[in-house]
Chains A and B, each alone.
Chain A
Amino acid sequence: MKIALALGALIGLLLTIVPSILVAIGLLSWQTHAVLMTIGMIVWFIAASLYPQPAKSS
């Protein structure tokens, strides 16, 4: 589960940054980039929120 959440968080971040680079080099439209960023945002917040927090030391 932990690995799946870490992978989800990574995908969320990649969906946030990679589409903008593709827009800059002309391989993606701005509209698609905006949609992918929105999906990336949702994926990131779900995965990062569910990822177990390290136990607090005393």
Chain B
Amino acid sequence: MTEATTTITQKLDALYEYDREPVHEKSFQGIGKFLGVYGGEHIAGTEYVIGPLFVSHGVTAGDFFLGLIIGNILAVLSWAFVTAPIAVKTRLTLYWHLRNIAGPRLTALYSIVNAVMFCFLAGSMISVSATAIGLPLDMKMPALEDMLPNSVEWVAVVLLVGTAVTALAILGFEKISRFSSIASPWMVLVFIAGAIAVLPTLGVQSPGDLWRVANERIWTGVPFAGQTKFTFWHVMFFAWFCNLAMHIGMSDMSLLRFAKKWQYGFASATGMFLGHFVAWTSSSVLCAAAAGSVAPGPIAYMGAGIAGAVSVVIAGWTTANPTLYRAGLAFQVVTPDWKRWKVTLVAGLVTTIAAVFPALMMKLLDFVALYGLLLMPMGAVIVADYWFLPRMGLRKEYAAHRGLGLSWPVLIAWLGALAVAFALPFEIFFVALPGWFVAVLLFVGFSFIQQKYLAAAGERGSQ
């Protein structure tokens, strides 16, 4: 390794030093902890955007509900059968487990890609909050087709919100986490209450009107001007893969390693069905009542008044903060001598500049799909390394075994899977699944070559 990369990987190791050891039995958590964490984590500001985006893409009511039910079930099963079993067997964070498979240099690269994506994700949440802060200022809201800032007021409000979020992320992450957990139960009810209160304006006079109104006024099946048509498959794959980085991408190993049993992966159902089912349905209803407006602030205000607007600010802020904090943590690997506050400040600056562009919010579905896709191959590698290599007579965690800085089979699997995924003639929502199989095949194939032929040839050469 070069001196520079050695410094980076040493710094990265030092950052995660606390998590180096497998979780001890006395730190295991009960099911209640996971039900709460998943419930809270998936009721974010972005839920106010995702429902309206489905409406704008002309999903029908049947496709919407069936797609959400099946997609959310598949997401829960992914957490339960893919992430949790390896998490409770290894008891390690994703970082330390991946380091053993991919080597420290490749893991550092993965962390940086992750950090950049975290910044953009936090940026979309700042944009969401800004639409509510701008309400009393009578700010012109960004429209669906706006990719660039549409007014000076928008830029000023985003900079204001971004500055506040960054300052709070620097000052205290723990207190924000506590505030976030307090806000979660209330926010779910605000979503539901807002949607119920606008039902009469959509023409619902009795429960018998619900399905008719759902088809005729909300999920009409007709896309807005300039938007592509979404089907059941779009909804199902998006619901399944919007947290791809967390389940199949394995980043929730860091959370589920505290679980007493692998079955606690099923606790993710609270997040999927409260956040991604109830909240997306509610925000779709609000969008329809607002005559197709997709800006979260105005639609929440239309349903729930001041409480709705406040919930948008809180939902955006409480989820942007930990995301920004994690981005700062990951960026710290390339800024070895910087204090945490300085790194978080830079991450906040990148995030705020990104948030100025409404494209991030209006193209959220595509961005979320891209985010998961970029990180997914590493999850495929972890699964293949854990379950498949030993059955083929190959050694697990080969990079750690041989002291390699970078595992080339992992690098080829990562880049190869992405190259194939981007080359496929499908929309981005559909390429992650074939990409996963490509990553597994490439990793297993090249690991076989590395361990059976090259290592053997190397050993013969050294004799």
Q: A34 touching B306 by the CB < 8 A rule?
A: yes
Min C-beta distance of A45 to chain B, whole Å = 7
Residues of B within 8 A of A53 (CB): 178
When the two chains form their complex, are residues A38 and B182 in contact, meaning their CB atoms are under 8 A apart?
no
Q: Mark B184-195, 1 if CB is under 8 A from A, else 0.
A: 011001101110
Q: 6 tightest CB-CB pairs across the interface, nearest first?
A: A34-B305, A20-B193, A37-B307, A20-B197, A20-B196, A41-B307
Q: Which of A26, A37, A49, A58 has the most CB of B within 10 A?
A: A37
Given that A24-B204, A58-B26 are known contacts, is A44 also in contact with B196, CB under 8 Å in the complex? no
Q: Is there a chain B Cβ closer than 8 Å to A17's Cβ?
A: yes
Question: B136 to chain A: which residues have CB within 8 Å?
Answer: none
22 sampled A-B residue pairs with Cβ under 8 A: A12-B186, A13-B186, A13-B189, A16-B186, A16-B307, A19-B193, A19-B197, A20-B192, A24-B200, A26-B200, A35-B305, A37-B193, A37-B304, A37-B305, A38-B307, A40-B307, A41-B190, A41-B310, A45-B182, A49-B179, A49-B182, A53-B178
In the assembled complex, the Cα of A58 lies from the Cα of B25 at a distance in Å of: 12
Chain A residues 12 to 45 lying within 8 A of chain B, measured CB to CB, are 12-13, 16-17, 19-21, 23-24, 26, 30, 33-35, 37-38, 40-41, 44-45
Task: Please tell me if B330 contacts chain A, counting CB pairs below 8 Å.
Answer: no
- A16 in contact with B193 (CB, 8 Å): yes
Indicate whether B199 reaches chain A with its CB closer than 8 angstroms. Answer: yes
Query: What range describes how many residues of A lie at the interface?
Result: 20 to 34
Interface of B is mostly: helix
Is A5's beta carbon under 8 Å from chain B? Answer: no
Contacts of A12 in B (CB 8 A): 186
A13, A16, A49, A53 interface centre (most CB from chain B within 10 Å): A16
Beyond A13-B185, A33-B197: 4 further Cβ-contacts under 8 Å? A13-B189, A19-B197, A23-B196, A34-B304
Given known contacts A23-B196, A23-B200, A24-B196, is B190 in contact with A33 (CB within 8 Å)?
no
- Give per-residue flags for B80-93: 1 if the beta carbon is below 8 A from chain A beta carbons, else 0: 00000000000000
The closest CB in chain A to the CB of B308 belongs to A37
With A16-B193, A21-B196 in contact, do A44 and B186 touch (Cβ < 8 Å)?
A: yes
**Interchain CB contact under 8 A, A16 and B189:** yes
Q: Which residues of A sit under 8 angstroms from B26, Cβ to Cβ?
A: 58
**Chain B window 156-178, contacts with chain A (Cβ cutoff 8 Å), 1 for yes, 0 for no:** 00000000000000000000001
